Amino acid sequence: MPGFIKPQLATLKSKAPKGDQWLHEIKYDGYRIQVHVNGGRKKVYTRNGLDWTKRFSTIAGALDIPGQAIIDGEVVVVHEGRTNFSKLQAELAAGRQDRLVFYAFDLLWRDGDMRRLPQIGRKQALLDLLGENDIESPVLYSEHLTGDGQKVFEHAAKLNWEGVISKNASAPYRSERTEAWLKVKTVQREKFPVVGFVKDPTGVAALYLGKQEGKELVYMGKVGTGWSRTVSSQIRRQLDTVVSPKSKLTKPTRKPKATWVEPKFFADVEYRDITSEGLLRASSFKGLSRK
């Protein structure tokens, strides 16, 4: 039985593929792990090969399987009907495991190497393995759909899921980024009032953002990517016209490098999620407009 196996990774695409040869799974927003079972001894590795068996001991303990197996999957926390990375981080930081769920989506080893088998064969073997051994929560089998991947993706977007992973049903497992696995991510987009910025020599290094909630202007975090040097300079010239001596946020936020502004400009921002602290995650700037 081998040690840690480098994981197969998906290639990012703008649209999900069509055709019966593709299996479409939910893209989970969690930690990729690999569980090794060897005659009752268990190890859990991160995607980079770190031994995190203690952190995920509950999941390892639930995989009561005879013989040898290596299972690939994702650890998540489900919050309000979808996987939530911020909640997962909070659970791990607190040393808790009771909310962790392991979505198993591939079988790399079962008393022998499975990686040359087609994707659909590995998934069926995984489903059989979990079923025959009565494996239950916190270990769940990652279901898939076939057919029009874009329709699956559109449903995922409506449900605010992270996106979809489309896998070629006939492809073997390869420890690299491949076109046999394709990922399409959902993104959310919204306009937020700019409440401040961080200067750099020619423009802005970051924008501080707010959001109007009733009569309160609350802090939503910052955005620091998505502009060229030229656009950065243009943003700076516009924001320099509305500089304020103090923050306009309802609750002051300590930002020593901030230059505060009147909330007269709105940043158009794409983001992945809002964290448990109420801040934007994976944000990217798309444009600036006047109120």
pLDDT tens, residue by residue, 203-241? 999 999 999 999 999 999 999 999 989 999 999 999 999
Q: What is the mean pLDDT of the chain?
A: 94
- Of residues 194, 190, 191, the one with CA closest to residue 258: 194
Q: How sure is the predictor about 158, in pLDDT bands with cuts at 50, 70 and 90?
A: confident
27: annotated active-site residue: yes
Q: Are 217 and 210 in contact (CB under 8 A)?
A: yes
Q: Which domains does the chain have, with CATH numbers?
A: 12-185 (3.30.470.30), 188-290 (2.40.50.140)
Q: How sure is the predictor about 282, in pLDDT bands with cuts at 50, 70 and 90?
A: confident
How far apart, in whole angstroms, are the C-alpha atoms of residue 24 and residue 169? 10
DSSP β-ladder status, 265-271 and 280-281:
unpaired
- Of residues 288, 271, 289, the one with CA closest to residue 280: 271
What's the pLDDT at 86? 75
Per the structure block, which two tokens stand in for 27? 């893209």
| Active-site residue identified among 27, 87, 185, 222 | 27
Report the percent of the chain where pLDDT is more than 90. Answer: 79
Full-model pTM: 0.74
- The angle formed by the CA atoms of residues 49, 55 and 59, to the nearest 5 degrees, is 95
Q: Are 211 and 217 in contact (CB under 8 A)?
A: yes
What's the pLDDT at 89? 83
Q: Are 199 and 259 in contact (CB under 8 A)?
A: yes
What is the rounded average pLDDT of the residues 114-120? 98
What is the rounded average pLDDT of the residues 33-38? 98
What's the pLDDT at 108? 98
Q: Per DSSP, what are the bridge partners of residue 91?
A: none
Q: How sure is the predictor about 274, in pLDDT bands with cuts at 50, 70 and 90?
A: confident
Q: Which of 47-51, 86-90, 154-158, 178-182 has the lowest mean pLDDT?
A: 86-90
Phi-psi label, residue 232: left if phi above 0, alpha if psi -120 to 50, beta otherwise: alpha
How far apart, in whole angstroms, are the C-alpha atoms of residue 182 and residue 8? 11
Three-state SS string across 12-76, please? ECCCCCCCCCEEEEECCCCEEEEEEEECCEEEEEECCCCECCCCCHHHHHHCCCCCEEEEEEEEE
